[in-house]
Amino acid sequence: MANEVILLDFWPSPFGMRVRIALAEKGVKYEYRDEDLRNKSPLLLQMNPIHKKIPVLIHNGRPVCESLVAVQYVDEAWNDKSPLLPSDPYQRAQARFWADFVDKKIYDIGKKTWATKGEELEAAKKEFIDALKLLEVELGNKPYFGGETIGYVDVVLIPFYCWFYAYETCGNFSIEPECPVLIAWAKRCMQKESISESLPDQQKVYEFVLMMRKNLGIE
């Protein structure tokens, strides 16, 4: 049976970007469908009735929901090239731990850097930098979290890089002086086509954030 792969997504979603990158790393041809989140398609509601969220990967008509679940699925279903998770169980556990850390910290705290003000904003900026610094320690002097090549944690984290400009501009702070190693890692990742073609332009993300702030009544 031919492989039919559809990705229901939304262009600025870091969660969607993870799946785009994984599919690109594996050389999988797929149909990208951008959803209007204010007017979700019948297909999205049918394929993800529980959460009604993107991304949803649909492989031969069967949905896989939740970005980390989908990335692991892609890694296992197309296991002939570019392994994302290591083969050693302990290293796999470590990769899953840091992916979980990114999920617990980066999105929510990042959101606070553009959605809050005053003391709440200052606290969020500090927490954000602290989280990035912990990730820098985990990276160490490896080119990628996956070692010599991109791995699971790289795929999970790099999408947030295209949001950094929005965080920095809204929050009035700069990430690179605090986390030079992480920014160097991000720029290294952006050299890879699977990533550069999966991430939107950071200026466009910033304009999207400005629009969201307006919708939410944040000045």
Position 45 contacts other proteins (CB under 8 A):
no
Torsion of CA 115, 118, 119, 125, to 10 degrees: 50
Nearest distance from C-beta of residue 148 to other proteins, angstroms? 22
Residue 181 near residue 139, CB atoms below 8 Å:
yes
Convert residues 106-145 into a mask of x (bound to other proteins by CB under 8 A) and - (unbound). ----------------------------x-----------
Q: How far apart are the C-alpha atoms of 158 and 181, rounded to whole Å?
A: 13
Q: How far apart are the C-alpha atoms of 94 and 91, rounded to whole Å?
A: 5
Position 62 contacts other proteins (CB under 8 A):
yes
Position 77 contacts other proteins (CB under 8 A):
yes
- Look-up of token digits 């952006």: 190
Stretch touching other proteins by CB under 8 A, among 10-18, 30-38, 59-67, 187-195: 59-67
Position 218 contacts other proteins (CB under 8 A):
no
Nearest distance from C-beta of residue 127 to other proteins, angstroms? 13
CA R_g for the chain = 17
Position 70 contacts other proteins (CB under 8 A):
yes
Residue 25 near residue 33, CB atoms below 8 Å:
no
Q: How far apart are the C-alpha atoms of 177 and 172, rounded to whole Å?
A: 13
Nearest distance from C-beta of residue 87 to other proteins, angstroms? 10
Nearest distance from C-beta of residue 64 to other proteins, angstroms? 5
For residue 44, give both structure tokens: 């999205």
For residue 72, give both structure tokens: 């692991």
Residue numbers of the site for other proteins (CB under 8 A)? Answer: 50, 59, 62, 64-66, 68-70, 72-73, 76-77, 89-90, 92-93, 96-97, 100-101, 134
